[in-house]
Amino acid sequence: MESPANTDKTTASKQPAKQKWILPGAGLYQGLVVTAKNFIQSYYKKERLTTVQYPEERAPISPNFRNFPFLVHDGDDADVGLRCTACTICEKSCPPQCIYIVLDRDENGKSKKRPKVFDIDLSVCMNCGICAEVCPFDSIYMDNEFELSKDDRFGGMLYGLDRLVKSTEFHAKIRPEEAAQVAASRKAAAEKKAAAAIVKAERLKKKAEDDRLKKEEEKEAAQAAETPESPEDDTTKGDSE
């Protein structure tokens, strides 16, 4: 049998807790205070002055913003310095299939390792950035240009090499950190390739020198075998007998 003290405790625990009285509409008032505070601060606090007089003034674009792809070229000549080799990896990887590439060839049909045609239909592009991720030659990246309104939905939004190719300086301008990493990586790869070429040239040079010495030795041995014995040698041989 439970004691009276335990019974009182059990009864007290079962009683509902008293709710704190709240002024009706207090949450609404608090929200209005926050709104009024932000509104007033937008007139004198620099971080809240969000209005920009576009297009005379333009808000800074974040380096993380990505819109449509563009191609990169090294140097001043876009034809010579174009990094794209027309491998068509980006064309095959594109989910909406908005990239069209034709390989450039010479009169003998040999590949020039550059695109003759590189078109991107921006009206179909979904800005996924997969083409930039899969490119093994650091030749395609995502642009931050967004003012692309055209009156021609199809012809005006079909970009070719004349509008897609941009310099490495442009890439460094819109995304400096990414461009610096790519430049350092390409420089290291170029130095490694140059060092390997020097080693290979030295190895080929040594092999050519060894082959030359070997041929000279074989030639001297053949000449020695073909040389007939002189009469003096015969006389000396007869005297000895």
Mean pLDDT of 175-185: 91
Residue 27 pLDDT level (bands cut at 50, 70, 90):
confident
Sign of CA dihedral 12, 13, 16, 17: positive
Residue 42 pLDDT level (bands cut at 50, 70, 90):
confident
3-state secondary structure of 56: coil
Contact 130, 95 (CB under 8 A): yes
Please tell us whether the domain made up of 69-174 is placed in CATH 3.30.70.3270. Answer: yes
Q: Strand locations in the chain, DSSP E?
A: 69-73, 99-105, 111-121, 140-142, 158-159, 165-167
The pLDDT of residue 231 is: 55
Measured CA to CA, the distance from residue 162 to residue 66 in angstroms comes to 20
Contact 105, 117 (CB under 8 A): no
3-state secondary structure of 16: coil
Beta-strand relationship, 111-121 and 99-105: antiparallel
Indicate if the pLDDT at residue 170 is higher than 90.
yes
Indicate if the pLDDT at residue 200 is higher than 60.
yes
Indicate if the pLDDT at residue 135 is higher than 60.
yes
Mean pLDDT of 31-52: 86
Mean pLDDT of 141-170: 89
The pLDDT of residue 233 is: 56
The pLDDT of residue 236 is: 53
The pLDDT of residue 234 is: 53
The pLDDT of residue 119 is: 96
